[in-house]
Chain A
């Protein structure tokens, strides 16, 4: 008979889990594996609340295996290291992002692109090499193979740095890969949420001119005065859209709901690149004529490999880029999820796990 989550492994762990597609989270007792030779045990201090956590607890993608403990923007302190671990020692501040394992042998893994490994193991809702379920960072501790642990730079605060582990790498990686880094070029950022606000900051750090594209005029002041965007476009205003047509070299599209691509494609210049990062549960409509007539492209990207995630953290530390966060207690999580569903957050909830996750 299968062991219960509490009995599966030797170390008792406490967290919050969703048990059905209502998505409602509640206290959950489970366990984690013994710290093996390659492992690092981490006491969790903070965990960001990503929109993917919301998609997952509600089973929007149809792949959730309940009970699910979400959380893949984890920052904490090392409490134990296995004997093969040289990069980290007890007391180090570290992060864990979207993945905790991969095959290590395929082309993607060999190229430091573990995120594209067909056997990638996600921090939550996957099965580990030992076939047990993975549970994420809405919990008091986590045991992770050292290869998948990130060093947190000294000047990066743990709480506002946590969202970089998913939101940060998710926008940084495609900006590098698709060549959206030429100073002076014009970047559009569609959607000003967890991903979008960091894309604005990273875009400015690359020396780009940045326009935020949003359906909410109320975000303009923040976009320009607080985040540093150069301009703001209300995408539901046909006159503004028309005036901006053919002006952008790149667009990072962070919108997670189903939305129209045609107006965004129209904003691109010749050879323009639109990278879409959200994961709606239905396909999008792609008009082909404008792609053909303008040699434009629509590409996807999915967070990033471990090496690049470390590079991104170091880049953000160097440029003092952190997330704008609302720090919450663990027991606020269900309210936070409801507010997240309405995009009512500036711009990432981060759970103060260390101080509020009490049994």
Chain B
């Protein structure tokens, strides 16, 4: 059965057809709005670095055609008969997952993101065996449980990236206790994740130092994003002066990079949390880890309950992503620029105004 005929609701989006990663118009379909489902008209969708990894099959499990997009926001158009929390017209969003087993320990603890049977928003197999297609499309149908409400005071376009970048940095700040006023947290990498991490940490009352390989982001970091200081990681003197000063570090860099200088920046009992995922192992220098009782940990997005909590926190503190809104047909160029980290700091596709199926 063709992708257009698979389901009853017509859908239109852009998909990658192969690992060249080039995206183009794609007609497909979505399931009927089931009794627990929410259908919404997609207005905006953020472009996450993971979309880039997936369209190019860099992680080795992509299946094509692939419709990426998991920072999806829009307006509800239909709700199933058993839906309690949402109604037509509500402003909602969907992030990285659209399903999970709902019965394992992780799911019971509101950690659906760690469920071994989690279903990703894009490129995964849904409960009915069909492929999931993401938010680079005109409509979404998702189980109510995996939908979050976007408060009225958050602009939809700038809120979209919070659904992945936001929760990915908010969750470890809370879980690893790096959210106490007066603490000093470093943020490595000033991109989609990094810039949101700075905003959240500042809102939590934490002193923030941005750690970057290039000095040209300093002004932005300090004047625009509100970081307290900026450290060029290639500058030995600056790094030396900052040794042993940080309670924690959120490391957003997914390229291979050395951990030793970052571990050195931590105070005793300091925590280095990886939210970027370099493909190959990194070298772990053991002496400094032991001599300072330090740790290296990882974290991956967050559960749905915490995602809603994060969105509400963002609304309360007026935190949104810094975005470049693009029309759908700029998408391939945006992906190329994203490879070069040439964006301040997230592309967001204006789906509502620019994604139109051909008549």
User: Which residues of A does B touch, CB under 8 Å?
Assistant: 61, 107-108, 113, 116, 174, 177, 261-262, 270, 276-280, 283-302
Contact = CB atoms under 8 A, between A and B. Distances in A.
Interface string B258-285: 0110000000100100110111011111
A291 B281 contact: no
By secondary structure, the B interface counts as mixed
Nearest to A117: B268
Contacts of B285: 283
A111 to B, nearest CB: 9
Contacts of A174: 293
Q: Which of B105, B114, B293, B299 has the most CB of A within 10 A?
A: B293
A299 B286 contact: no
A283 B290 CA distance: 12
A351 B310 CA distance: 59
Contacts of A298: 284, 289, 295-297
Contact of A296 (B271, B278, B297): B297
Contacts of B61: none
B298 A295 contact: yes
B294 A299 contact: yes
14 contacts: A116-B268, A280-B286, A284-B286, A286-B281, A288-B281, A291-B296, A292-B274, A294-B298, A297-B295, A298-B289, A298-B296, A300-B288, A300-B290, A302-B291
User: Interface residues of A: mostly helix, strand, loop or mixed?
Assistant: mixed
Nearest to B279: A289
B146 to A, nearest CB: 19
A174 B294 CA distance: 11
Contacts of A279: 286-287, 290
A301 B279 CA distance: 27
A285 B290 contact: no
A300 B292 contact: yes
Contacts of B297: 291, 295-298
B62 interface: no
Contact of B284 (A107, A270, A284, A302): A284
Given A116-B292, A294-B298, A298-B296, A289 B286 contact: no
Nearest to B278: A288
Nearest to A108: B268
B106 interface: yes
Given A270-B114, A300-B290, A301-B293, A295 B284 contact: no
B277 A288 contact: yes
A295 B290 contact: no
Interface centre among A262, A286, A291 (most CB of B within 10 A): A286
A300 B114 contact: no
Contacts of A113: 268
Contacts of A277: 290
A120 B105 CA distance: 44
B281 A294 contact: no
B175 interface: yes
B242 to A, nearest CB: 15
Given A61-B287, A289-B277, A292-B275, 9 more contacts: A108-B268, A270-B105, A283-B283, A286-B284, A292-B300, A295-B298, A295-B299, A300-B288, A302-B291
